[in-house]
A and B are shown apart, each in its own frame.
Chain A
């Protein structure tokens, strides 16, 4: 075993996924299953076997670059990404779709390459591949609506990549160094990179690819999607922009605003997508403090979020496959048919609500305390609002409406899903519980060493009281019929700007252009006819009619005329 581990030293974990993804384009059946499980297991062992340091050095344009770096910050992310790939692979084990398996493996490889990139060039390459390969998991749904959502998703991913390239070129010119370390927003290139990372973090008004794209993905694809892109973006933010004050307010807005959408939304997968943004807000606030406590909290919360959010998506995916709906109005009462799935979903919901002894609690507390230590009392109140709202918009809402509430129409569900899906969900639930019960083991993985006890009496009482009363509020609102609900409708979000305003503007511009063209053609035609009258009748010039070639000729005449008029006075 030790000999085997010695072989793995220095092999980047993404190499296994890259190889597996190439093989998965042709493999099927048992081979494909082996690739899906083998890559994360080998990747995990490679990360564990490799000592911290820079690997795969190369030189380009006189810059010293390292394609793989393992250090205190990338280590916890790479561990979590490999575990997430294992869970996602188990969940997708029986899905015979080469596009999905190859896409998911390439997506995993590129995400790990982002977290392991030692320089900006490797980062750019991995960042672009991450954006494109992840879209495969949306296109794999093979429905017209999903394809449209996938294209909108891709637009944001490519936009982020473009900004990153522009910013990186500027940083290299400015510093003469391409290492991927602290960048800061003191210069415009830094701002561009900040925005590139911000798009993938889901900054306000740039977040729609999450709430629009993720629910369009396949049931197994969304498990990968929820784990990778946003958390890789948090890694990048933590690396390049810790202690940036503006992040504090951006993070606060991200933590609070999605609540209002998630609470109204009918599609539970969309609710979960909005809750990703809210949790990302917490993480960014942790990064923004720049304190060891805050950065640790952000990293820990990113790791925990990968597993509890993945588990929630998996449980809703099971319900979706069983009933054909992921909407609140199409689900309900499944707990009798699916007792195990229901229990696992409750574990995830308790984790995201930050119930003590579940994973969310031990990391959210770190961030809250870091914000308070940093002296940002008002931001702390805002985050407390988001923490109190978590049970309301996701923690109780999702399990209650999916598994317990009385269904609008009787649901037909066979029972708990087959073993690979149950194994994937159980593994994620185990990680949620382990982090909750053994927080010190989780803290030992974090970039900074610290002494912190999340289970002090004060913390516990505060959190229990907070959650009990938000549960009370949920029940009270539900009994009074005040809990907001919208059946099968669209909530306008910032996607309105590019799905409604921009197309309408473009259409009216096009109509205006057509009108203008007609005017010009008429002008040309009238001029031609006037000229005809001037000519002697025996020339037999034809009368101009606005059809076919005549239109083009008239346009050309009119344009020549206009050009001449423009040039003449000079």
Chain B
């Protein structure tokens, strides 16, 4: 009688971790779909050509993605150049 009860409790303890992962996957898919939808909306006449890059399809999306990845990569490089130990300035004064 006791053994199945134990099984039951372990199952319910494992449960809370299971649904978030599934819902995260769903949220991720929904988000991707929304991103795609904004690209599709570019085909409509919502934009009325007041900016130079208006005619380029998906300009803002592609620009934003590339810009963010580029900034992150540049920051990685910059970190390699400029990163010092936390007590860098304090240590400098003792020399």
A interacts with B: yes
Q: Are A473 and B75 in contact (CB under 8 A)?
A: no
Contacting B at CB under 8 A, from A261-281, are: 261, 263-264
Q: Are A489 and B86 in contact (CB under 8 A)?
A: yes
Q: How far is the CA of A475 from the CA of B64 in the complex (A)?
A: 13
Contacting B at CB under 8 A, from A455-484, are: 456-458, 461-477, 482-484
Contacting A at CB under 8 A, from B61-95, are: 61-65, 67-69, 71-76, 78-79, 82-89, 92-93, 95
Q: Does B29 contact A (CB under 8 A)?
A: no
Q: Are A507 and B79 in contact (CB under 8 A)?
A: no
> Which of B32, B64, B79 makes the CB contact (< 8 A) with A473?
B64
Please, which residues of chain A bring their CB within 8 A of the CB of B75?
259-261, 263-264, 484
Q: Are B79 and A385 in contact (CB under 8 A)?
A: no
Q: Does B41 contact A (CB under 8 A)?
A: yes
Chain A proximity of B48: nearest CB distance (Å): 5
- The chain B residue sitting closest to A474, CB to CB, is B68
Please, which residues of chain A bring their CB within 8 A of the CB of B65?
469-470, 472-473
What interface size band does chain A fall in? 35 or more
Q: Does A24 contact B (CB under 8 A)?
A: no
Contacting B at CB under 8 A, from A377-424, are: 377, 384-385, 388-389, 391-393
Please, which residues of chain B bring their CB within 8 A of the CB of A507?
95
- The chain B residue sitting closest to A491, CB to CB, is B82
Q: Are B84 and A473 in contact (CB under 8 A)?
A: no
Q: Does A504 contact B (CB under 8 A)?
A: yes
Q: How far is the CA of A482 from the CA of B38 in the complex (A)?
A: 26
Q: Does B52 contact A (CB under 8 A)?
A: yes
> Which of A261, A464, A483, A491 makes the CB contact (< 8 A) with B72?
A483
- The chain A residue sitting closest to B66, CB to CB, is A473
Please, which residues of chain A bring their CB within 8 A of the CB of B41?
461, 465
Q: Does A488 contact B (CB under 8 A)?
A: yes
Please, which residues of chain A bring their CB within 8 A of the CB of B48?
456-458
Q: Does A486 contact B (CB under 8 A)?
A: yes
Q: How far is the CA of A392 from the CA of B65 in the complex (A)?
A: 10
Chain B proximity of A466: nearest CB distance (Å): 4
Known contacts A385-B67, A492-B84, A499-B92; is-contact A457 B60 (Cβ 8 Å): no
Q: Are B61 and A392 in contact (CB under 8 A)?
A: no
Known contacts A384-B63, A389-B71, A473-B65; is-contact A504 B76 (Cβ 8 Å): no
Q: Are B42 and A468 in contact (CB under 8 A)?
A: no
Q: Are A461 and B83 in contact (CB under 8 A)?
A: no
Please, which residues of chain A bring their CB within 8 A of the CB of B84?
489-492
Chain B proximity of A87: nearest CB distance (Å): 31
Please, which residues of chain B bring their CB within 8 A of the CB of A538?
none
Contacting B at CB under 8 A, from A351-373, are: 372
Q: Does A503 contact B (CB under 8 A)?
A: yes
Q: How far is the CA of A472 from the CA of B35 in the complex (A)?
A: 8
Please, which residues of chain B bring their CB within 8 A of the CB of A472?
31-32, 35, 65
Q: Are A470 and B67 in contact (CB under 8 A)?
A: yes
Please, which residues of chain B bring their CB within 8 A of the CB of A486?
79, 83
- The chain A residue sitting closest to B62, CB to CB, is A469
Known contacts A392-B68, A469-B35; is-contact A500 B89 (Cβ 8 Å): yes
Q: How far is the CA of A11 from the CA of B21 in the complex (A)?
A: 60
Q: Are B71 and A260 in contact (CB under 8 A)?
A: yes
Q: Are A260 and B89 in contact (CB under 8 A)?
A: no
Chain B proximity of A507: nearest CB distance (Å): 7
**Which of B32, B51, B72, B76 has the largest number of chain A CB atoms within 10 A?**
B72
Q: Are B78 and A260 in contact (CB under 8 A)?
A: yes
Q: How far is the CA of A338 from the CA of B38 in the complex (A)?
A: 33
> Which of B61, B82, B85, B87 makes the CB contact (< 8 A) with A469?
B61
Chain B proximity of A7: nearest CB distance (Å): 49
Q: Are A500 and B92 in contact (CB under 8 A)?
A: yes
Please, which residues of chain A bring their CB within 8 A of the CB of B26?
none
Please, which residues of chain A bring their CB within 8 A of the CB of B82?
491-493
Q: Are B47 and A461 in contact (CB under 8 A)?
A: yes
Cβ contacts A to B, 22 pairs, < 8 Å: A260-B74, A263-B71, A263-B72, A264-B75, A388-B63, A388-B67, A392-B71, A458-B50, A465-B41, A466-B61, A469-B61, A469-B65, A470-B65, A470-B67, A472-B31, A473-B65, A473-B69, A488-B86, A490-B85, A490-B87, A491-B84, A507-B95
Given contacts A385-B71, A388-B63, A473-B72, 18 further A-B contacts (CB under 8 A): A261-B78, A264-B75, A377-B52, A385-B67, A389-B71, A457-B48, A461-B38, A461-B60, A462-B60, A469-B35, A469-B62, A469-B65, A470-B64, A472-B31, A473-B64, A489-B86, A500-B88, A504-B95
Top 10 closest pairs, chain A to chain B, by CB: A473-B68, A469-B64, A388-B64, A465-B60, A469-B61, A457-B46, A465-B38, A469-B65, A492-B82, A470-B64
